[in-house]
């Protein structure tokens, strides 16, 4: 049985992330979404809030059977701990590729038994990022076409923007 981990900060989860989940589920027998800490990022939502938002957003998208976990540490250790053979990552543009390539090679060096598998984003989400969604919402903009309703409501509460 093939199992993969899809890690990310998911601050917050977007339709672009959900698109990757839907497609990765077709490739792997089991997919686990791992909400991870990233010391280089200052997040709007806490780790537990992000996990809960992921669970509720995936449920809203009809993917409620995809488990969501939290992890504080190396993603390759998370993969090993959960018996995953692959780390799933999404790519939007060349700028993503350079960073992801570096991480994939490092992960392979740390644990050669775990492969990195990349999914090109769907064209409609190629520009989308969690940072952009937060920025739009912080100015009171409509993010309904970028995130599930549960995420939009959480952003409105957190940023106090209707």
92 is catalytic: yes
Cα separation of the two ends of the chain: 45
What CA–CA distances, in Å, run from 6 to 30, 76, 141, 148, 153? Answer: 11, 11, 29, 19, 24
For the CA atoms of 52, 54, 57, 59, the dihedral, rounded to the nearest 10 degrees, stands at: -80
Residue 41 a catalytic site member:
yes
- Of residues 50, 51, 56, 130, which has the active-site annotation? 130
Query: With 0-12 CB in 10 A as exposed, 13-18 as middle and 19+ as buried, what is 108?
Result: middle
Could you confirm whether 130 is annotated as catalytic?
Answer: yes
Task: Confirm whether 131 is a catalytic residue.
Answer: no
Catalytic entry in 25, 92, 108, 161:
92
Report CA torsion sign: 73, 60, 52, 47.
positive
Q: Are 15 and 147 in contact (CB under 8 A)?
A: yes
Catalytic residues: 17, 41, 92, 130
């Amino acid at each position: 049985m093939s199992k993969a981990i899809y890690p990310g900060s998911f601050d917050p989860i977007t339709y672009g992330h959900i698109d990757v989940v839907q497609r990765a589920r077709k490739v792997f027998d089991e997919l686990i979404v791992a909400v991870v800490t990233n010391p280089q990022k200052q997040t709007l939502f806490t780790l537990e809030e992000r996990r809960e938002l992921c669970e509720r957003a995936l449920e809203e998208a009809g993917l409620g059977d995809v488990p969501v976990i939290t992890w504080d540490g190396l993603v390759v250790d998370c993969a090993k701990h959960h018996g995953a053979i692959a780390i799933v990552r999404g790519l939007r543009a060349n700028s993503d590729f350079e960073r992801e390539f570096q991480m994939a090679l490092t992960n392979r060096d740390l644990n050669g038994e775990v492969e990195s598998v990349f999914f090109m984003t769907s064209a409609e989400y190629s520009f989308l990022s969690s940072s952009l969604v937060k920025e739009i919402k912080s100015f009171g903009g409509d993010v309904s076409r970028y995130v599930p309703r549960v995420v939009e409501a959480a952003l409105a509460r957190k940023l106090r923007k209707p």
